[in-house]
Chains A and B, each alone.
Chain A
Amino acid sequence: MALDPVIQTFITESTELLQEMENALLELENSPDDKDIINALFRTAHTIKGSAGVVGVEHVERFTHAVENILENVRQGKIKITNDLIELLLNCHDHIAKLVEMATSDEPLSEDFKSTEDDLQKQLHVYLDAVSDRRIKTQTKEPVAREPEFDSELNTSSGKTVKNKNWHISLRFGRDVMRNGMDPVSFINYLSRMGEIISLTTLTDTIPSAEEMDPESCYLGFEIDFKSDFDKQTIEDVFEFVREDCKICILPPRSRIERYVHLINNLPESPLHLGDILIKGGALTPSELDEALQMQDVETVSFDDGQTEEHTRKIGEIFVDEGMVHPPVVDAALEKQKEQKEASSRESKTIRVDTVKLDQLVNLVGELVIANANINQNAQRIHDGGLDESTSALTRLVEDIRERAMQVRMVPVGNIFNRFQRVVRDISRSSNKDIELIVSGGETELDRNLVEKINDPLMHLVRNAADHGIEYPEERITKGKPRKGVIRLNAFNDTGSIAIEVSDDGGGVDHNKITNKALDRGMVRPGQVLSEKEMYNLMFEPGFSTAEKITNVSGRGVGMDVVKRNIEALRGTVDVESHEDSGTTVSIRLPLTLAIIDGFMVGVGASFYIIPLDMVIECVDLAEADRRVTDKRNYFNLRGEVLPYVRLRTLFRENGGKTDYESIVVVQATGRRIGLVVDELHGEVQAVIKSLGGIFKHVEKVSSATIRGDGTVALILDIPKIVESMGGVEIKV
């Protein structure tokens, strides 16, 4: 069968489960006895293993099996949760994650990888062996009650075999089989497909009188002679589901005659009746039957399994309800498991959708927005009341759809936040630090595409904070700080964007160290005075790392510059604030989505520009009188506040159609305000973002473009870049 899409599903699902597994393990560290967590943990391993097996990813199945085993024992209280075990399980988790990743590749596992696996297996077995030792001891005490082995070939030397070359199968179904959803006729049908039914006799003797007969009970028995080349196990397996509730006896071809004796003895029907059936079906010849019936009186056959008492009983004694009375269904002790958690019940209300489909949908919605804008423009030209009404209704709907479509792609950023618990934990262990990660605002939603891309930069920042930020406990104590260092990961919505902060209460940035390093690297000239912000910016320069000791955690050199580049690629910004001994805060700002923005369109000359709406503070006219004055100083007075401004005309070298009227759009980004002087204000628009091709990659101050309703292009301004280049005025909040 075509398994490829299934493997994909398997990988997605396992990745989620692995995340749950990791979370559970980390939670377990704080509350090692929490049953719910242990159960959840078990379920993750269980499901991964189960799926892997069914999907056919053997190496995942094999390895996860051992983990599942351990967890099953933990669940039963046979293995205790210790920190060492959690550590081991976390390592196993990592290993499974790698195995899952490789599920699609056909390459053989590397030697290194195998030795890791062997090592983990060995460690797991230490736990398992300890349990199984105990288990063996307890198990030997329990005598195993079993039916006598009808067909054990222990005494092959003695006894005469019958001539019959067919199997003989005797079945007496239990009363409850139908109530348990099992239908004897299906088993017989299945059997009939494994060979040839030579003869089948349905025994109805035990169907009681009409009043007493319970129509939901099964009263039937069967004597079957069956020709088949399958082995005994296979034929037995046909009845595996009813084995416990039924009397089943399977005699192989050419069985010893004693076995038939035993069969007759153990069946409720009269020997003569049975004898007829056996002869009719060809199981026994008449003389064989005679012989058997004689033997039956003095059953001396040595079934050497110590249950002689059973075998010396006469038919009459055996007759009554042997195998026909069933232990009452035990429904005690089964506690109702109705306490389900609210949170998990939400799961069943969600469906999984391929992100590609979502992207396609969002793209189409984008096109719809553009088409709608086009209709609006044309409608405005026509000036028809009815048409205007229709278009405005359409616009409302399109806007709604756009919003919903975007929401569909929004996921809580907390999904990735939790991953960092592990990182922080590992670092604090390996570096002997005491660090706690406090996560807040995890419910803040962000476009799924962004969430994926933000993971690596955040990972780096968190590692940095743990590795370089937080001091060793002794050092913290001498500084009068609490022994335990805290890293905070916080997300919140902020004027149309998302802010994510990674802060630590560690040593902060040593200004001298940075300056010295920068001097070393020739990034600053000796004697150059750096503002605080300039100095922080140095940290984002390529090849800059102040860690004196290179650790296996945050490495050297590569890092902050990559972080900055990644964030900027997402139309986001990064800022650092650091105070010596009180810690560092890195703030990231990201747009909510990459696909559509609410913009404010302005005109300069013949061109159109779009300013992200959330960055627009207000628009003011630039009076003729002001124009002349401001021309000289590039500052203007906004109700007593001095703001720098820039003419877009100058910035983008627009020549066409100068006007006498100009307006200022006051914009704000990264906590600073400036004014942009434009010719015309066109108002709010929804802009579907079309990224600029590679040729325009280095065009600064423009982030992307959009296509207007009439097909012309409008550039979307990169306000943070423009603000940065201007300096701007810091806002005091």
Chain B
Amino acid sequence: MNVNVEKSDGLSRLQIEGEMTVFYAAALKKDLLDNLADCSNLDIDLSQVSEMDTAGFQLLFLIKREAGLSDKSMRITAHSPATLSVLKLYGMDEEVL
């Protein structure tokens, strides 16, 4: 897993590449929270995610919730088939998107 960051004017664009799975959950959690703390708007591009599992889903949910708690905006700008299918199964494709 790899997270690319692009920052401009309080907007951070994250692009996550590879696996968003339990194997990388600890690293991903830190990356997401650190980046959220650093910006006021967070865009996340998931188009390069090859696999996502429940751990990945939970982290998306968590970051969304954290963003809400700190009055920041968080958007998912693009999905990959892997992320979309998990969100659909969880009935969360509208909520987290």
Contacts and interface: CB of A to CB of B under 8 A. Distances in A.
A–B proximity contact (CB within 8 A): yes
B59 interface: yes
A202 B92 contact: yes
B54 A184 contact: yes
18 contacts: A179-B22, A192-B89, A202-B90, A204-B58, A207-B58, A207-B65, A210-B33, A210-B66, A213-B62, A215-B22, A215-B25, A215-B29, A215-B59, A216-B25, A216-B26, A218-B54, A219-B58, A220-B54
Interface string A219-241: 11000000000000000000000
Interface in B22-80: 22, 25-26, 28-29, 33, 53-55, 57-59, 61-62, 65-66
A487 B54 CA distance: 68
Interface bin, chain A: 20 to 34
A616 interface: no
Contact of A183 (B53, B59, B65): B53
Contacts of B90: 185, 188, 200, 202
A355 interface: no
A178 B55 contact: yes
Nearest to B70: A210
Interface residues of B, number: 21
A596 to B, nearest CB: 55
Given A178-B22, A178-B55, A210-B33, 12 more contacts: A178-B54, A185-B86, A185-B89, A188-B90, A200-B89, A200-B91, A202-B92, A204-B58, A204-B61, A213-B62, A215-B26, A215-B29
A201 B28 CA distance: 25
Nearest to A211: B33
Question: DSSP class of A's interface residues: helix, strand, loop or mixed?
Answer: loop
Contacts of B57: 185
A189 B57 CA distance: 15
Contacts of B53: 178, 183, 185
Contacts of A199: 91
Nearest to B95: A202
Nearest to A210: B66
Contacts of A213: 29, 58, 62
A674 B58 CA distance: 91
B91 A216 contact: no
Given A213-B29, A216-B25, A207 B54 contact: no
B65 A216 contact: no
A184 B57 CA distance: 11
B55 A215 contact: yes
Contacts of B55: 178, 215-216, 218
B37 to A, nearest CB: 10
Q: Is the interface of B mostly helix, strand, loop or mixed?
A: helix
Contacts of A201: 91
Contact of A220 (B22, B25, B58, B66): B58
Contacts of A219: 58
A220 B66 CA distance: 17
Contacts of A183: 22, 53-54
A183 B25 CA distance: 13
B7 to A, nearest CB: 21
Interface centre among B29, B58, B90 (most CB of A within 10 A): B58
Contacts of A184: 54
Contacts of A200: 89-91
Contacts of B89: 185, 188-189, 192, 200
A207 B60 CA distance: 12
Interface in A144-197: 178-179, 183-185, 188-189, 192
Contacts of A189: 89
A192 B25 CA distance: 26
Nearest to A201: B91
A184 B55 CA distance: 10
Contacts of B54: 178, 183-185, 218, 220
Nearest to B52: A185
A207 B64 CA distance: 12
A568 B62 CA distance: 83
A92 B13 CA distance: 71
A183 B66 CA distance: 24
B34 to A, nearest CB: 11
A219 B89 CA distance: 16
B92 to A, nearest CB: 6
A179 B90 CA distance: 20
Contacts of B65: 204, 207
A202 B59 CA distance: 14
A202 B91 contact: yes
B86 to A, nearest CB: 5
Interface string A319-332: 00000000000000
A218 B58 contact: yes
A184 B22 CA distance: 12
A166 to B, nearest CB: 16
B61 A207 contact: yes
Contacts of B28: 215
> Which of A202, A210, A215 has its CB near the most chain B CB atoms (within 10 A)?
A215
Contacts of A179: 22
A378 B47 CA distance: 69
Q: Lowest 4 A-B CB distances belong to which pairs?
A: A215-B25, A215-B29, A200-B91, A183-B53
Which of A178, A207, A210 lies at the interface centre, i.e. has the most chain B CB atoms within 10 A of its CB? Answer: A210
A241 to B, nearest CB: 15
A201 B94 CA distance: 12
A215 B58 contact: yes
A398 B27 CA distance: 58
A281 B19 CA distance: 32
B31 to A, nearest CB: 11
Nearest to B30: A215
B30 to A, nearest CB: 9
Given A216-B26, A216-B55, A207 B91 contact: no
Contacts of B91: 199-202
A711 B14 CA distance: 77
Chain A CB within 10 A, most for which of B25, B26, B28, B90: B90
Nearest to A215: B25
Contacts of B26: 215-216
Contacts of B29: 213, 215
A565 to B, nearest CB: 67
A508 to B, nearest CB: 74
B51 to A, nearest CB: 10
A646 to B, nearest CB: 81
